[in-house]
Structure 1
Amino acid sequence: MKEEVENNEIELDTSGTECPIPVLKARKLSQSLTKGNIVKVIATDPLAEEDFKHYCEQSGYEYLDCNKEKEKLYIRYKISR
């Protein structure tokens, strides 16, 4: 599920899925975005933080942060190319 939020952020809810699904959904979404967009991924997979750090490194995107609230991770990265 994709939803535009504020400040040029696009939200992608991958709750309930496990590796590699969150990254695959993010990759598909990111292909349609432009430089400067920020993707906020909501994930429940406990390994998602490390998966997205690696994904950003491989894709040339800027990993911004990861916040944990209860059972969910909120991961943000910036399309930088």
Structure 2
Amino acid sequence: MTENNSAAPTPDSLDALSYEEAREQLVAVVGRLEAGGASLEESLALWERGEALAKRCEAWLEGARKRLASARDAGNDGGAAATAD
């Protein structure tokens, strides 16, 4: 039953995960689901964990996209002023 407990993360535990940690755990969950042999209850818990991990990864990626866009915009503002002269 300890495996089911690890398959149901709390939001706080997910928030503490880095992108790489969340991705590694997601890959492990997918592997376990693809391997089959889990009970319906365990499969559902794994699916729910996978969904939560995928959302965490998406949040990290969206944050990275915003940071890149912000840096690009800041760079374009400075570059536009320099080329306007």
Which TM-score bucket, shorter chain as reference? 0.3 to 0.5
Greater Rg over alpha carbons, structure: 2
Q: Name the TM-score, length of structure 1 as normaliser.
A: 0.32
| Structure possessing the higher relative contact order (Cα contacts under 8 Å, 6 or more residues apart) | 2
Structure having the larger proportion of residues in strand:
1
Structure having the larger proportion of residues in helix:
2
Q: Name the TM-score, length of structure 2 as normaliser.
A: 0.31
